[in-house]
């Protein structure tokens, strides 16, 4: 019996408690979060997705593991900036975690969405589970947009301060609905300070954007402080004199079409 107790004690020492394990995870993931704040690069994105896959799987394995992630603040630590989709290995686990106890999505402040890799229901999930997003980046916003859903505008209308959109074109489906997107943003978002648009490479898209920015009923544009536009047909300050009169800083950069 003494030998059995001794063996059990050794085994317990060999298996660190969940709190210790999560503290170790927090230390390992910290450089990734700092790297994303400093500037997103592909290597940092991959490291973040790999770390998140491990974290989501750990929290999904049992109730005690799920609870300890919330207790030590690891979700708060890693989800301040979120890349979506997180990767095939972490998608299902993260979906369950975002909707589960503790609601870790409340800690997300900056969200970067790859629109080409969206699945049906993703936007609705993020809008419901991440209510405090302040900065949103839509990468490869193409003809299909965000699957026709603008529910995120209603959810983040009082929190979103920065919006960046990189437009994407499709040879078969045509240009992205940039004008429609900004019309919804203009009617919905009330505290937007910064708007960054890139990939403006068609006259039609340019016209649609200018029309949306000119809408007199747009509350968002009354709080707008900075507009940055890039593309071979980028919106210029001369096209938006009403913004200039309101004191909005308008920067335009003409670059070669690189969206295809």
Mean pLDDT of 158-180: 92
* pLDDT at site 112: 92
* pLDDT at site 41: 47
* pLDDT at site 15: 47
The band of 168, judged by pLDDT with boundaries at 50, 70 and 90, is: very high
β-partners of residue 170 are: 174
Q: Which residues have a Cβ under 8 Å from the Cβ of 164 and sit 6 or more positions away?
A: 135, 136, 137, 138, 195, 196, 197, 198
pLDDT value at 51 more than 70: no
Q: Which residues have a Cβ under 8 Å from the Cβ of 7 and sit 6 or more positions away?
A: none
C-alpha span between 138 and 143 (Å, rounded): 13
Do residues 93 and 66 make contact, with C-beta atoms less than 8 angstroms apart?
no
* pLDDT at site 79: 78
* pLDDT at site 171: 82
Bigger pLDDT: 252 or 5?
Answer: 252
pLDDT value at 251 more than 80: yes
181-240, pLDDT tens digit by residue?
A: 999 999 889 899 999 999 999 999 999 999 999 876 556 688 999 999 999 999 999 999
* pLDDT at site 32: 46
pLDDT value at 175 more than 70: yes
* pLDDT at site 145: 84
C-alpha span between 186 and 180 (Å, rounded): 10
Q: Which pair of tokens denotes residue 194?
A: 């910064």
Do residues 185 and 217 make contact, with C-beta atoms less than 8 angstroms apart?
no
If phi > 0 it is left, if psi is from -120 to 50 it is alpha, else beta; for residue 39 that is left
Q: What order do you get walking across the sheet with 81-84 strand by strand?
A: 81-84, 110-114, 135-141, 162-167, 194-198, 226-231, 249-254
* pLDDT at site 202: 92
CA-wise closest residue to 178 among 13, 19, 131, 186: 186
pLDDT value at 139 more than 90: yes
Q: Find the radius of gyration of the CA atoms of the chain.
A: 22
10-46, pLDDT tens digit by residue?
A: 444 444 555 555 555 555 554 444 444 444 445 666 6
Mean pLDDT of 153-171: 93
pLDDT value at 177 more than 70: yes
CA-wise closest residue to 103 among 111, 95, 92: 95
57-112, pLDDT tens digit by residue?
A: 676 666 666 666 666 666 666 778 888 887 766 677 677 767 666 677 888 899 99
pLDDT value at 259 more than 60: no
This prediction has a pTM of 0.79
Q: Which residues have a Cβ under 8 Å from the Cβ of 97 and sit 6 or more positions away?
A: 56, 59, 60, 66, 75, 104
């Amino acid at each position: 019996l003494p030998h059995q107790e001794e063996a059990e004690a050794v085994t317990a020492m060999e298996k660190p408690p969940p709190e210790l394990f999560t503290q170790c995870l927090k230390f390992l993931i910290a450089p990734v979060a700092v790297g994303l704040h400093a500037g997103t690069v592909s290597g940092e994105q991959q490291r973040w997705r790999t770390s998140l896959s491990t974290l989501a799987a750990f929290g999904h394995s049992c109730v005690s593991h799920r609870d300890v992630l919330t207790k030590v603040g690891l979700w708060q630590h890693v989800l301040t900036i979120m890349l979506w989709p997180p990767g095939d290995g972490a998608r299902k686990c993260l979906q369950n975690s975002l909707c589960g106890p503790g609601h870790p999505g409340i800690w997300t402040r900056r969200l970067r969405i790859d629109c080409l890799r969206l699945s049906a229901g993703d936007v609705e999930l993020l809008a419901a589970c991440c209510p405090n997003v302040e900065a949103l980046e839509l990468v490869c916003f193409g003809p299909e947009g965000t699957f026709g859903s603008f529910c995120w505008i209603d959810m983040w209308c009082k929190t979103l301060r920065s919006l960046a959109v990189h437009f994407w074109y499709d040879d078969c489906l045509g240009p992205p609905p940039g004008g429609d997107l900004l019309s919804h943003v203009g009617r919905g978002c009330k505290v937007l300070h910064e708007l960054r648009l890139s990939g403006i490479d068609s006259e039609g898209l340019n016209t649609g954007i200018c029309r949306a920015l000119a809408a007199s009923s747009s509350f968002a544009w009354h709080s707008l402080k900075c507009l940055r536009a890039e593309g071979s047909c980028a919106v210029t300050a001369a096209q938006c004199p009403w913004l200039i009169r309101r004191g909005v800083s308008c920067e335009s950069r003409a670059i070669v079409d690189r969206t295809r």
